[in-house]
Chain A
Amino acid sequence: MSTVVEHVACSFCGCLCDDIAVEVEGAHIVKVKRACSNGQGIFMDYDPRPRRPLVGGEEVEWDAAVAAAAAILRAADSPLIYGLSSSASEAQRKAVELADRIGAIVDSTSSVCHGPTGLAMQAVGEPTCTLGEVRDRADLLVFWGCNPDQSHLRHFARYSLNAKGAQTPKGRADRTMYAVDVRETGTTKKADHFLQIDPGCDYEVLSTLRLLVQGGEPEGETVGGVAVADLKELVERLKSCRYGLFFMGMGLTMTAARQLNVAELFTLVAELNEYAKCSVIPMRGHGNVTGADQVLTWTSGYPFAVSYARGYPQFSPGEFTAVDMLARRAADAAVIIASDPGAHFPRPAAAHLERIPTIVLDHGPSVTASHATVLFPTAAYGVDAAGTAYRMDNVPIPLSQVIETGRPTDEDILGRLIEAVRT
């Protein structure tokens, strides 16, 4: 006998599509409707079988694993707490409390995705809005250095290009789309106008757009591989549209100039508001990476790269960011929560995780989990645990528990570690 759970949020990416229907038989998910191919696996590939924690690769009782983890943390001089973006905000809050308790450095996967976006926001502000405003009002969309056709598969349908809203009743026909990228992608093929820029030239092109908005005239006929005439046309559209929207991705944050690219874009968007309404939304990747920024900011004052080593929060990207901590061999123990730096960090940084004791909380197998000193097989938020996640536009969305497995949550385990390190 199966039951269907409606209005379930998918926790894979920052879209947090909350219209998913999940058909359940006992503790097994048998069918998922409306999730994209990237999100299907969250539900269909989830292994709900109960598992016990591991210490040194051997199964132990939960109490013994908590005691082993607490002993590691008590012995550490410079512990790193990292991950958080595929966990719930309730657990993220506990992770910060644990960092405060043991004098740890706490960092999230933001530092290897939109960390530079956070730095830009601190420098110049972020003129942003919600995806509801995009759906209802935006008639000009610019996707810059991002490829939602591969990374956020329902973004176009639910929120942007094809979505039908109050002032965009015809959906796609009511919108003009630009794509800016160094290569042709599924996203650029959907655009009315594709501006193919030379690699590493985002800053130059953004600066030129700012110049054109201010009435200046650039030298030469092309900038960064793009015809100035095409940039002028884009500026005229941005100045005369009803509501312009920029969506930006890793094409700006992972290349040369990083946060300076993003700051230039945010400044351009702010300046465009002298002429027409315009906003920008970063395309956040992991389901609750936005929540990690939110929770860290409201608890410590900073969005990532926070050290509690001195008993109060200090912020230092490049120093307290996880890749830098590991590359310098500055961490002597690590708590990894719902992420896989063993797979997704540069190899020399990932290698240090294999040299130090690690405590891993994860609902499934990972490269990092395979090397864990202590492994807690926790529940997956949005599958067998309820919680809260923040969508890419900073709107909190409830994650449902669709099956019951009895596994503890990340919040449960972190709470137990906070108590255990006291003794």
Chain B
Amino acid sequence: MSERLTLISGRTRKQATGMHKGKDSPEYHAATEIVEMNADDMARLGIADGGRATLRTEVGEIALTAHEGALPAGLVFVPMGTTVNGLVGTETFGTGMPSFKGLSVEVEPAGGEPAGGEGEGS
């Protein structure tokens, strides 16, 4: 089962401190490869807290560890960074600014791979 939800990306403290360690560091991966979701959305889609979710747009597809967050239904949050930018297109509507927020994404439970020792993000 998959649904179209709205993605926003943004700064988190762990993303910032992970960035200082390097974008190939375990801290950065742990901080940026997570998605926060509304609990009801997760239950309806069959995504467990700490489980894996696939996010997809016409640009690309990423798999992230899902966590319940204080988000309204229909909204998902992913920390800014290399991973989430795999979903963002280059349309800027004449401004230079891509849609890093307000992006329509298809969300579904990920097929297999567990998070794999990269720790918890927030």
- Residues on A lying within 8 angstroms of B by beta carbon are 12, 37-38, 40-42, 44-45, 107, 111-112, 115-116, 119, 147, 150-151, 153, 182-185, 196, 198-200, 250-251, 253-256, 258-259, 285, 304-305, 317-318, 321-324, 326-327, 340, 343-350, 364-367
* CB-CB nearest in chain B for A225: B72
Contact B75 A345 (CB under 8 A): no
B15: min CB distance to chain A, Å:
8
Q: Find residues 49-103 in chain B having any chain A CB closer than 8 Å to their own CB.
A: 59-60, 69-72, 74-75, 77, 80-82, 85-86, 88-90, 92-102
* CB-CB nearest in chain B for A252: B101
Contact B96 A344 (CB under 8 A): no
Chain A residues closer than 8 Å to B93, beta-carbon distance: 258, 318
- Residues on B lying within 8 angstroms of A by beta carbon are 6, 8, 10-13, 16-17, 19-24, 59-60, 69-72, 74-75, 77, 80-82, 85-86, 88-90, 92-102
A71: min CB distance to chain B, Å:
29
* CB-CB nearest in chain B for A199: B6
Contacting residue for B100 out of A41, A184, A196, A254, CB 8 A: A254
Contact A321 B92 (CB under 8 A): yes
Contact A348 B59 (CB under 8 A): yes
Report the separation of the CA atoms of residues A153 and B101 in the bound assembly, to the nearest whole angstrom: 22
Contact A258 B97 (CB under 8 A): yes
Report the separation of the CA atoms of residues A209 and B21 in the bound assembly, to the nearest whole angstrom: 43
Chain A residues closer than 8 Å to B100, beta-carbon distance: 112, 250, 254
Contact A317 B101 (CB under 8 A): no
Chain B residues closer than 8 Å to A259, beta-carbon distance: 95
Report the separation of the CA atoms of residues A259 and B80 in the bound assembly, to the nearest whole angstrom: 21
A318 and B94 contact, Cβ closer than 8 Å, known pairs A38-B17, A251-B101, A255-B101? yes
Report the separation of the CA atoms of residues A327 and B93 in the bound assembly, to the nearest whole angstrom: 13
A322: min CB distance to chain B, Å:
7
Report the separation of the CA atoms of residues A255 and B98 in the bound assembly, to the nearest whole angstrom: 9
Contact A183 B75 (CB under 8 A): yes
Contact A349 B17 (CB under 8 A): no
Chain B residues closer than 8 Å to A119, beta-carbon distance: 95
A347 and B20 contact, Cβ closer than 8 Å, known pairs A182-B72, A255-B101, A318-B94? no
A123: min CB distance to chain B, Å:
12
10 of the cross-chain contacts (CB-CB < 8 Å) are A41-B16, A182-B8, A199-B75, A317-B92, A317-B96, A323-B96, A324-B96, A344-B85, A346-B88, A348-B90
